[in-house]
Amino acid sequence: MPRVEHPAGGYKKLFETVEELSSPVTAHVTGRIPTWLRGSLLRCGPGLFEVGSEPFYHLFDGQALLHKFDFKEGHVTYHRRFVRTDAYVRAMTEKRIVITEFGTYAYPDPCKNIFSRSLGWFFSYFKGVEVTDNALVNVYPVAAAREAPDCVPAVLQVDLCKYVSVNGATAHPHIENDGTVYNIGNCFGKNFALAYNIIRIPPLQADKEDPMNKSEVVVQFPCSDRFKPSYVHSFGLTPNYIVFVETPVKINLLKFLSSWSLWGANYMDCFESNETMGVWLHVAEKKKGRLLNLKYRTSAFNLFHHINTYEDNGFLIVDLCTWKGFEFVYNYLYLANLRANWDEVKRQAEKAPQPEARRYVLPLSIDKADTGKNLVTLPYTTATATLRSDETIWLEPEVIFSGPRHAFEFPQINYRKYGGKPYTYTYGLGLNHFVPDRLCKLNVKTKETWVWQEPDAYPSEPIFVSHPDALEEDDGVVLSIVISPGAGPKPAFLLILNAKDMSEVARAEVEVNIPVTFHGLFKRAYENIP
């Protein structure tokens, strides 16, 4: 990818507080919206970066703002509202930060203010711990027997701990075509040691009973460290297997439990890195809920997003967006860093773990006679898996995307048809020294890339929407919210790209700034679930 500079610092607009809208606004459309594109794009992210004179300090602290673009008969409207969480309502009522967030400590009562987060794990298991419900990371559907209003979808506060043995869940569940939801959360396993539970939430049945009442634990993965669970953001799922990647970024449970008495402590203070463990990969059979007794190991990296996972002739192919090394990438996502001038942004990014999209190949059966040999026999990958004398299987990846301080992140695929199956294409947000400045399409087989980019334009995660009559994997469009602060009176727009060649189809401009969003989904007008 060509090197692009951002000396004007327009990316700082991504981290500015905005007001919610009292009613939808009509977007100005250039180009032609495909007639089949009918429904709503929902996005979530922070929208309030300070309360009065009190600032939030980390990217994951700002109060949750839900965005909605509606598509109907070639017209587009935009609406947004803050999610009425307890954290938001209390902050607005008391005009100060009341509950501690990911990287910001709330001062009123240190005996009660401890945090947690839908981003990864949260420890609502501990009574007397006040947990933030500021869910700013993602939106995903769990069918419910109740209606949602037309303006912005209903947001229901659900405590998973009341339904199943799990303390929180990740922001990246897997959703099967029938509406079944799989997710992972931490728990206490045997002998009060920490473990990770895979949970299953069934789709809404004819009896209309709340699916949460029927949620269950499918399988439990052990933790590499009894009292220090790893940070987990996503996991892999195929028709027959579940893949959990345990990284060296750890939550120090003792620090967490004592932090209520430490003046100024927050969630970020409880992270530490295990500099010797590397990465452990765990596999379980999905239908039987049985762990495979195979010890996959590889060198250290941070992991937030799985691209896709699939099965092929006795192997699991696991494609990941990695960050090399054991230092926590979130250390570089404080707002002061992200709002810095371009030269300083680059200087900090030079020190951070470097990104790389990788393919790992996991053999599902081994023979001790193959000790010392590469077990991978698939002809299309250079990834290796070597059986060692201690019966661990050492994995070396195939690099499918790499560029100096350029990340391919927030990956999206044609999930409905190719999630958990062999695939060819993935779409990602290009991060240039942590600044999102391009949209990318990657052929994971040939490593060919296509890029959309404009000067001083800062897009968000690309959402792939398949054509209703698609015959090919990449037949559809890609949607992304873009801010372009130097482009005149309309500082933001919804971009529609042809998913085959990343050429522009249309854009819908609005006269308001739109801050950073993390994840979201497209809900077709005629679907009950996206």
pLDDT, tens digit (0-9, with 9 covering 90-100), for 105-140:
887 544 444 433 333 333 443 434 466 778 777 665
Distance, CA of 463 to CA of 144 (rounded, Å): 24
Model-level pTM? 0.92
Q: Residue 223: inside a domain, yes or no?
A: yes
Structurally, the chain folds into a number of domains equal to 1
Tokens standing for residue 223 = 């933790």
**CA distances in angstroms from 516 to 53, 78, 174, 458, 490, listed in the order given:** 21, 15, 24, 9, 16
**Helices assigned H by DSSP within 215-341:** 253-258, 335-338
CB-based contact 355:329 (threshold 8 Å): no
**CA distances in angstroms from 3 to 351, 356, 408, 431, 436, listed in the order given:** 18, 17, 15, 12, 13
Q: Residue 416: inside a domain, yes or no?
A: yes
Angle at 104 between CA 434 and CA 346, to 5 degrees: 20
Q: Residue 274: inside a domain, yes or no?
A: yes
Q: Which residue has the tokens 């996959």?
A: 296
Q: Residue 5: inside a domain, yes or no?
A: no
Q: Is 172 annotated as a binding residue?
A: yes
Which pLDDT belongs to residue 119? Answer: 36
Q: Is 233 annotated as a binding residue?
A: yes
pLDDT, tens digit (0-9, with 9 covering 90-100), for 82-96:
999 999 999 999 999
Q: Which residue has the tokens 């929180």?
A: 168
pLDDT, tens digit (0-9, with 9 covering 90-100), for 343-361:
999 999 999 999 999 999 9
Which residues fall within 8 angstroms of residue 377, CB to CB, at 6 or more apart?
313
Distance, CA of 114 to CA of 130 (rounded, Å): 5
Q: Is 75 annotated as a binding residue?
A: no
pLDDT, tens digit (0-9, with 9 covering 90-100), for 203-236:
988 887 887 888 899 999 999 998 899 999 999 9
Distance, CA of 16 to CA of 397 (rounded, Å): 39
CB-based contact 245:320 (threshold 8 Å): yes
Phi–psi pair at 98, nearest 5 degrees: -100, -35
Which pLDDT belongs to residue 207? Answer: 83
Q: Which helix (H) or strand (E) holds 92?
A: helix 86-94
Helix/strand/coil percent split, the chain, to 5: 10, 40, 50
**CA distances in angstroms from 503 to 83, 143, 225, 277, 279, listed in the order given:** 34, 35, 48, 44, 38
CB-based contact 40:70 (threshold 8 Å): yes
Q: Residue 183: inside a domain, yes or no?
A: yes
Output the CA torsion 180→185→190→191 (10° steps).
-160
> CB-based burial of residue 331 (10 Å sphere; 0-12 exposed, 13-18 middle, 19+ buried)?
middle
Phi–psi pair at 120, nearest 5 degrees: -140, -120
Which residues fall within 8 angstroms of residue 414, CB to CB, at 6 or more apart?
423, 425, 464, 466, 473, 474, 476
Strands 519-524 and 39-48: antiparallel
Which pLDDT belongs to residue 312? Answer: 98
Q: Residue 530: inside a domain, yes or no?
A: no
Q: Residue 439's closest CA among 486, 516, 504?
A: 504
pLDDT, tens digit (0-9, with 9 covering 90-100), for 30-47:
999 999 999 999 999 999
Q: Residue 382: inside a domain, yes or no?
A: yes
Which pLDDT belongs to residue 188? Answer: 75
CB-based contact 465:476 (threshold 8 Å): yes
> CB-based burial of residue 505 (10 Å sphere; 0-12 exposed, 13-18 middle, 19+ buried)?
middle
The per-residue pLDDT of the chain, averaged, comes to 89
Which pLDDT belongs to residue 210? Answer: 82
pLDDT bracket for residue 193 (50, 70, 90): confident
- Mean of the pLDDT values across residues 508-520? 97
> CB-based burial of residue 55 (10 Å sphere; 0-12 exposed, 13-18 middle, 19+ buried)?
middle
Round the CA-based radius of gyration of the chain to a whole number and report it: 22
Q: Is 519 annotated as a binding residue?
A: yes
Helix (H, G, I), strand (E, B) or coil at 381: coil
Q: Residue 529: inside a domain, yes or no?
A: no
pLDDT, tens digit (0-9, with 9 covering 90-100), for 411-451:
999 999 999 999 999 999 999 999 999 999 999 999 999 99
> CB-based burial of residue 190 (10 Å sphere; 0-12 exposed, 13-18 middle, 19+ buried)?
exposed
CB-based contact 394:383 (threshold 8 Å): no
Distance, CA of 269 to CA of 407 (rounded, Å): 26
Q: Which helix (H) or strand (E) holds 12?
A: none
Give the structural domain span for 346: 10-524
